[in-house]
Amino acid sequence: MDSRSGIENSPDIESNFNTSSRRSVSSIHLKASHENSIRESSLSHSGSKPVRYGSRGADLEAFSVSQKEINEDDARLVYVNDPVKTNENFEYAGNSIQTGKYSVFTFLPKNLFEQFHRVAYIYFLVIAVLNQLPQLAVFGRGASILPLAFVLLVTAIKDAYEDYRRHRSDRIENNRLAWVLVNDQFQQKKWKEIQVGDIVKVHANETLPCDIVLLSTSDPTGVAYVQTINLDGESNLKTRYAKQETLLKVPEKDGISGLIKCEKPSRNIYGFQANTEVDGKRLSLGPSNIVLRGCELKNTSWALGVAVYAGRETKVMLNSSGAPSKRSWLEIRMNAEIIKLSIFLIALCAIVSVLAAIWLKHHNDELDYMPFYRRKDFSDADGKVDNYNYYGWGVEIVLTFLMSVIVFQIMIPISLYISMELVRAGQAYFMIQDTEMFDEASHSRFQCRALNINEDLGQIKYVFSDKTGTLTENKMEFQCASIWGVDYSGGKASSQNELGGYSVKVDGKVLSPKMKVKVDLDLLRLARSGQNTEEGKHVQNFFLALAACNTIVPLVIDTSDPNVKLIDYQGESPDEQALVYAAAAYGFMLIERTSGHIVIDVQGERQRFSVLGLHEFDSDRKRMSVILGCPDKNVILFVKGADTTMFSVTNKTLNMNIIRATEEHLHAYSSLGLRTLVVGARELSASEFEQWQSSFEAASTAIIGRAASLRKVASNVENNLCLLGASGIEDKLQKGVPEAIESLRTAGIKVWVLTGDKQETAISIGYSSKLLTSEMKQIIINSNSKESCRKKLDESLVTVSGLSHGSGVSSGAGVRPVALIIDGTSLVYILDSELEEQINYLELQLFQLAKKCSVVLCCRVAPLQKAGIVALVKSRSPDMTLAIGDGANDVSMIQMADVGVGISGQEGRQAVMASDFAMGQFRFLVPLLLVHGHWNYQRMGYMILYNFYRNAVFVLILFWYVLYTCFTLTTAINEWSSVLYSVIYTSLPTIVLAILDKDLSRRTLLKYPQLYGAGHRQECYNSKLFWLTMMDTFWQSVAVFFIPLLAYWKSTIDVSSIGDLWTLAIVILVNTHLAMDVIRWNWVIHAAIWGSIFATFICVIVIDAIPSLRYYWAIFHVAGTGIFWLCLLLIIIAALVPRLVVKFLYQYYNPSDVQIAREFEKFRIPRESEAGQIEMNPRDDPPLR
């Protein structure tokens, strides 16, 4: 049904969908049930030239393009070069984008609507509305709305600013220019004016304005190279193809027309299906024919395409939603206390109502004429006597209840919500500004992408880490090789003195590889000696295989010196890149790759090999192969792959010794933590080649089961190989990783490593990163069935519990730490969710086991399994989890964990986009958790408790006064002070403190990672602290209220004066209370606390200086008396004495670790010299600083 085009267009040039397969040729793709579930045939078809750069992804779900007809209803019809017709029937989005949420007109309603999603705000709105009823108006109308309005305003301003920034970037984006075909001429048009159906021309290094289907490119074969860094962060080049049929058309002259029927816009950036009719022929289009908005065209001077999706319907925009919002544990926990406070509030209101009811009942007869109640209203001109503002006993009680809710409303601290946001923003600022979390190498700062889980960083119990790129640098480096049974890893020579060795002169210009590789001099000599010796021949074959058997695209880059050019090897797999760089260093430099051939410079001599066939890597075969037509007309098959599958296809009869030697070397390499690959080759006879070619062609044109038949063809030809050798590639550990892991472990954080690598590599990385130590008992689970899994788990559980119980509880020091190593296959059985009962049992067993282990290493796991493991821990334990990773395969895990951290490293930005925090290096996790996490947790915990206290003490004072006003909700504290209390009088110090206070210095926290345990033990926020705080609150309110009451009993004091006394007393008290808990007094904190008290005095004076208010001049009268100041002093001291006593006794006789460390920090006990006796577990080398 498809035409036989000359150039093949495989649908899946880049399989970035699954990075674990991409990362390493040797890594295995687990066939978990969720993967490759749909495996329909791909639409790609081979042409006459049997070259394919990628059949590998054919079996990946994302690339499988269904052959089935696109449903008419779901289809989008695009008339090529006819945007008018395209857009007349259907409303396709234009290309202007709008990421801004609001416009000038919609801002107010939309923003308010969004803000009122918070229950707390609705509560305050209801109260403000209640207060508007004349019968209930406790506060003045303005005063009651003010706090809510203030909070809404602050948030609105923040939202407006963010939205303004988005609008600005939208505007810039929308006004960029692109070349569009208008009336058979390319004209520049603004991006926003591009419509679906337009033909767009993009030049080299330009960004694509919308998603386009390629029509033709500057390359005669229709290839376009694109960089998708803005999309998925991959910096390597990807190839896209124009269809053969459209390739030769020149739109200016020929006037292209046609109809593209494609699927509705979707978020899948790796999937696209469409078909088109060109000149009466129907063509299928797949993901390799579409270039997405945001990509950059590289290495191709121009490309031409039809816009199919524009604006918000482009895939990049559909994918632009942020990370799912997470809520911090502390905030969830806080809600429990908010409920307690609500109950408390209702209780207070109930008490007031009941007492009011009793009072009213008791004085019912007197109410009519009582001078301060006067139920009867005689003022009616007709002489009719009505009740004034009295609706009967029952209604009065209900009204009293509602009024008391209004008066006591700040029991639920509204200001806390806004404070928490400000504090988190402040904390984020300091985390970003931390110079020790700045990565010099990549010039990347720490990024706070989620602003609401800062404090969770202080309570992390489990860290799930990816290995490649996270623990390691993901910069593969060729280390050693075993060729023909000989190990070349001994003599190490630096690359520096051999610089000239592997540059090549082409047309008078010097070409050299971009990356230098350390070379082994022996090997280099052998490689140069060439065909003269047997050894040299094998070495040459080996390196030829490395240079040829890959999918690397060499790119020539200009340097400042016009005669020197660099070759940059672009490819999907860093392993392949490392191998090609290594081959180049040894004189086998890959110079050019075109559709049908490659050019390799062999020791200064350019040789052209035609690439007759290429079998991509797939997860079943775990190897790839290439069939080369050599200059001497021989046809050679080179295969490279994982040892497990390679040895089964080598010809064992040939040279057993070599195989055995290679196996030994491989073992040695992997125990060094090197990634190994085995290379083999076989010469194909003419008949063999013929046979292969026909079957390959048949397989690649097959419509159904193409991937499977291609795999079969590959398997058929990949046998009887002659073993050439094996390579060892080092995946270097990042700087500071072992120290970081040790710090985390000492801090009581369990580090789990989840990797796609094989077990040996994982274990060796485990050792080199100090995750595993020799004294650990290793439990390895490699099971192939559910039953054996269950058995193994049960056994291990018994072993582990035996270990811990055997040594007894008292002398627990002797317990051997246990490391659990489990592979993906076993996890498939354990996490398999088909049988309900079974999973629960196995999962539970695994969790029980893992809980007891200090280290868990999961190897060969698929991305979704990673998320599954995180989910397992998250669902079964209340502990906080953190996932850290760098690649697309970590995204699911990062989003699943309580805190997701992305490493902005080699693998691009997908992990970063999904993460809550992003940073450059794994080791920054230590300052992030131990320092900032600890601080943030302590600060936030204290701030929440303090805010509860601050508001409750105020409410209680109001409550006490109500008891002396016939339960009628009069407030002595004037309404303006009530409003300003949580806005001006007391808000700033707590915010400043929560941003700036530090319980311990960075140095101490890093030196004693155990101090992190404060977060695990929930030392800064727990029920006990809450109740203690509330008891303290109760006492303090009693002191504040009753001291003036008794001092002024039977005196001439008036409401305003005593109200001012109470106002000042509370404000000074709560600020002094806060001051008592300040750990580090710097000038900002001084300014905030004393400034707030000063500001309160000013405010009270200003309020009392307004003659139209009844409080006029009260403060001046009352402050002129000695009794006022005596009361104030007595209140502060009497209120704080119990707290001081309890705090002191607690700190002195039951000191927390943090307390001891603080003392240690301050006094620097001379005992340090005799620390030999007292084990402080000091870290030998604090990793930072």
Partner 1 sequence: MKGGSASSGGTDAPSNSSSSSRTKKPKYSKFTQQELPACKPILTPGYVIMIFTAVGVIFIPVGLFSLFASESVVEIVDRYDIDCVPSNYSSNMLAYIQSTATNKTCTRSLNITKEMKSPVFIYYQLDNFYQNHRRYVKSRSDKQLRSRKYESDTKDCAPEATSKGFPIVPCGLTAWSLFNDTYGFSVKNKALEVSKKNIAWKSDKGHKFGSDVYPKNFQTGELIGGGKLNSSIPLSEQDDLIVWMRTAALPSFRKLYGKIEVDLQVNDQVTVVIQNNYNTYSFGGKKKVVLSTTSWIGGKNDFLGIAYLTVGGLCLFLAISFILVYVAKPRPLGDPTYLSWNRNPAGN
| Residue 323 touches partner 1, criterion: CB under 8 A | yes
Question: Which is nearer to partner 1, 158 or 528 (by Cβ)?
Answer: 158
Can you tell me whether residue 348 is helix, strand or coil?
A: helix
Whether 465 and 744 have beta carbons less than 8 Å apart is answered as no
Single out the segment in contact with partner 1 by CB under 8 A; choices: 495-503, 728-736, 841-849, 1133-1141: 1133-1141
* Strand-by-strand arrangement of the 597-602 sheet: 486-488, 472-483, 722-733, 674-684, 635-641, 623-629, 605-615, 597-602, 588-593
Maximum Cα–Cα distance for the chain, whole Å?
Answer: 132
> Cβ of residue 957: shortest distance to partner 1, in angstroms?
13
Question: Which is nearer to partner 1, 536 or 748 (by Cβ)?
Answer: 748
Question: Which is nearer to partner 1, 253 or 1162 (by Cβ)?
Answer: 1162
Residue tagged active-site, from 466, 898, 997, 1104: 466
Can you tell me whether residue 515 is helix, strand or coil?
A: coil
| Residue 143 touches partner 1, criterion: CB under 8 A | no
Question: Which is nearer to partner 1, 720 or 746 (by Cβ)?
Answer: 746
Single out the segment in contact with partner 1 by CB under 8 A; choices: 62-70, 319-327, 588-596, 833-841: 319-327
Give CA–CA dist 1000/1118, Å, rounded.
43
- 211 secondary structure, DSSP code: E
Q: Which of residues 406-465 bind partner 1 (CB under 8 A)?
A: 421, 430, 432-435, 438, 440, 442-445, 447-452
Alpha-helical segments (H) within 818-903 = 824-831, 836-852, 863-876, 891-896
| Residue 1134 touches partner 1, criterion: CB under 8 A | yes
Q: Which of residues 761-820 bind partner 1 (CB under 8 A)?
A: 809, 811-813, 815
Give CA–CA dist 1111/1106, Å, rounded.
8
> Cβ of residue 1166: shortest distance to partner 1, in angstroms?
10
Single out the segment in contact with partner 1 by CB under 8 A; choices: 4-12, 56-64, 857-865, 1112-1120: 1112-1120
Q: Which of residues 868-907 bind partner 1 (CB under 8 A)?
A: 904
| Residue 1077 touches partner 1, criterion: CB under 8 A | no
Q: Which of residues 1006-1035 bind partner 1 (CB under 8 A)?
A: 1008, 1010, 1013
| Residue 1175 touches partner 1, criterion: CB under 8 A | yes
For residue 477, what is the enclosing H or E element?
Answer: strand 472-483
Give CA–CA dist 911/468, Å, rounded.
13
| Residue 332 touches partner 1, criterion: CB under 8 A | no
List 88, 1082, 1094, 1102, residue binding partner 1 (CB under 8 A): 1082
Per rule CB under 8 A, count of chain residues that contact partner 1: 151
Burial class (CB in 10 A: 0-12, 13-18, 19+), 596: middle
CA separation, residue 1178 to residues 674, 813, 1003, 1004, 1006 (Å): 32, 17, 12, 10, 10
Single out the segment in contact with partner 1 by CB under 8 A; choices: 144-152, 580-588, 614-622, 1049-1057: 1049-1057
> Cβ of residue 391: shortest distance to partner 1, in angstroms?
13
Can you tell me whether residue 117 is helix, strand or coil?
A: coil
> Cβ of residue 1184: shortest distance to partner 1, in angstroms?
12
| Residue 280 touches partner 1, criterion: CB under 8 A | no
Single out the segment in contact with partner 1 by CB under 8 A; choices: 218-226, 782-790, 1021-1029, 1144-1152: 1144-1152
Contact residues for 953 (Cβ-Cβ < 8 A; gap 6+): 1033, 1036, 1037, 1040, 1066, 1069, 1070
| Residue 912 touches partner 1, criterion: CB under 8 A | yes
Q: Determine the Cα angle at 673 with ends 670 and 676, to 5°.
A: 45
Burial class (CB in 10 A: 0-12, 13-18, 19+), 804: middle
- The closest of 20, 24, 10 to 57, measured between CA atoms, is 10
Q: Which of residues 1151-1170 bind partner 1 (CB under 8 A)?
A: 1151-1153, 1156-1165, 1167
List 39, 166, 790, 876, residue binding partner 1 (CB under 8 A): 166
Contact residues for 294 (Cβ-Cβ < 8 A; gap 6+): 207, 208, 228, 230, 231, 314, 316
> Cβ of residue 104: shortest distance to partner 1, in angstroms?
18
- The per-residue b/e assignment along 483-518, b for 16 or more CB within 10 angstroms, e otherwise, is bbbbbbbeeeeeeeebeeebbbebeeeebbbbbbbb
Q: Which of residues 341-370 bind partner 1 (CB under 8 A)?
A: 363, 366, 369-370
Q: Which of residues 1053-1072 bind partner 1 (CB under 8 A)?
A: 1053-1059
> Cβ of residue 752: shortest distance to partner 1, in angstroms?
17
Single out the segment in contact with partner 1 by CB under 8 A; choices: 579-587, 716-724, 823-831, 1125-1133: 1125-1133
Question: Which is nearer to partner 1, 5 or 938 (by Cβ)?
Answer: 938
Q: Which of residues 169-228 bind partner 1 (CB under 8 A)?
A: 169-170, 173
Single out the segment in contact with partner 1 by CB under 8 A; choices: 47-55, 486-494, 599-607, 1106-1114: 1106-1114
| Residue 1045 touches partner 1, criterion: CB under 8 A | yes
| Residue 1148 touches partner 1, criterion: CB under 8 A | yes
List 37, 188, 321, 653, residue binding partner 1 (CB under 8 A): 321
Q: Which two tokens stand for residue 1160?
A: 């240690």
Give CA–CA dist 857/763, Å, rounded.
8
List 129, 339, 1126, 1142, residue binding partner 1 (CB under 8 A): 1126
Give CA–CA dist 1056/278, Å, rounded.
88
User: Is position 466 annotated as part of the catalytic site?
Assistant: yes
Binding mask 55-94 for partner 1 (x = CB under 8 A): ----------------------------------------
List 113, 378, 393, 1034, residue binding partner 1 (CB under 8 A): 378
Binding mask 729-758 for partner 1 (x = CB under 8 A): -------------------x----------
Q: Which two tokens stand for residue 185?
A: 């001429």
User: Could you tell me if residue 632 is left (phi over 0), alpha (psi between -120 and 50 degrees) or otherwise beta?
Assistant: alpha
Question: Which is nearer to partner 1, 616 or 890 (by Cβ)?
Answer: 890
| Residue 1120 touches partner 1, criterion: CB under 8 A | no
List 84, 656, 704, 1174, residue binding partner 1 (CB under 8 A): 1174
Question: Which is nearer to partner 1, 286 or 927 (by Cβ)?
Answer: 927
Q: Which two tokens stand for residue 910?
A: 């997908």
Task: Please state whether beta strands 899-903 and 722-733 pair in parallel, antiparallel, or not at all (unpaired).
Answer: unpaired
* Cα end-to-end span (Å), the chain: 67
Question: Which is nearer to partner 1, 815 or 871 (by Cβ)?
Answer: 815
Contact residues for 50 (Cβ-Cβ < 8 A; gap 6+): 612, 613, 693, 696, 697, 700
| Residue 1090 touches partner 1, criterion: CB under 8 A | no
* Strand-by-strand arrangement of the 504-506 sheet: 504-506, 509-513, 564-570, 553-558
> Cβ of residue 375: shortest distance to partner 1, in angstroms?
9
List 54, 83, 294, 571, residue binding partner 1 (CB under 8 A): 294
> Cβ of residue 299: shortest distance to partner 1, in angstroms?
20
List 97, 127, 304, 661, residue binding partner 1 (CB under 8 A): 97
Give CA–CA dist 725/438, Å, rounded.
42
For residue 1025, what is the enclosing H or E element?
Answer: helix 1023-1047
> Cβ of residue 1060: shortest distance to partner 1, in angstroms?
11
Give CA–CA dist 976/94, Å, rounded.
52
> Cβ of residue 165: shortest distance to partner 1, in angstroms?
7
| Residue 998 touches partner 1, criterion: CB under 8 A | yes
Q: Which residues carry out catalysis?
A: 466
